[in-house]
Amino acid sequence: MNPLNPISVILRSLDFAATRHRSQFRKGEEKTPYINHPIQVANLLINEAGETDPVLLAAAILHDVVEDTVDSVEERDLLIGEIRSIFGDEILSLTMEVTDDKTLVKEERKRLQVEHAADKSVRAKKLKSADKIMNIRDLINCPPLGWTRNRVLDYLNWCEKVNEGVRGVNGKLDSLFEEVLKQARVMYRDER
């Protein structure tokens, strides 16, 4: 890719992610198109947290592509190569820094997110925080089908542990996380 033109890279990442997520939907009753989530994460970063870094915003849009749109290691490797050729190493690196290894069981992936949160780059910490904020907002506005109150509370507790490792890189993100976590705990009647 040529030198980073912020508008171009953001539009290219939107097009790429929309194509990859085209047949996916969020887990809520409304079956919201999945692409809305990465768009909301990028929107939160720029319009609520004041972030204007095009690498961060492009990676926010791409952050679930590798993790959630391929079924095999071979497809994953091809996709990584495609992202590198279109967006370059810097955006790929940030995207991969927040991508879970789906060859691991879910519990291990969640444990590793908590364990490694504090070791992430500043950009990755911002992206992780924004992602968790949007996921909690989804729990409030359109809860996943079949999730019990206990499952929601376990998820909130896990998000809080991840967030402990990413705090301090953007005060607005820190405040937004605390606010949305409090709203969710009130909604789900968690007496913390």
What pLDDT is recorded for position 78? 96
Note the pTM of the prediction, 2 decimals. 0.93
Q: List the domain boundaries for the chain.
A: 6-187
Count of C-beta atoms within a 10 Å radius of residue 160: 17
Nearest to 57 by CA among 48, 68, 46, 47: 46
pLDDT at 191 over 60: no
Residues serving a catalytic function are: 67-68
**Dist CA 176 CA 61 (whole Å):** 19
Kindly report, residue by residue over 158-184, the tens digit of the pLDDT.
Answer: 999 999 999 999 999 999 999 999 999
Kindly report, residue by residue over 103-148, the tens digit of the pLDDT.
Answer: 999 999 999 999 999 999 999 999 999 999 999 999 999 888 899 9
- How much is the mean pLDDT over the chain? 94
pLDDT at 150 over 60: yes
Which CATH number does 6-187 carry?
A: 1.10.3210.10
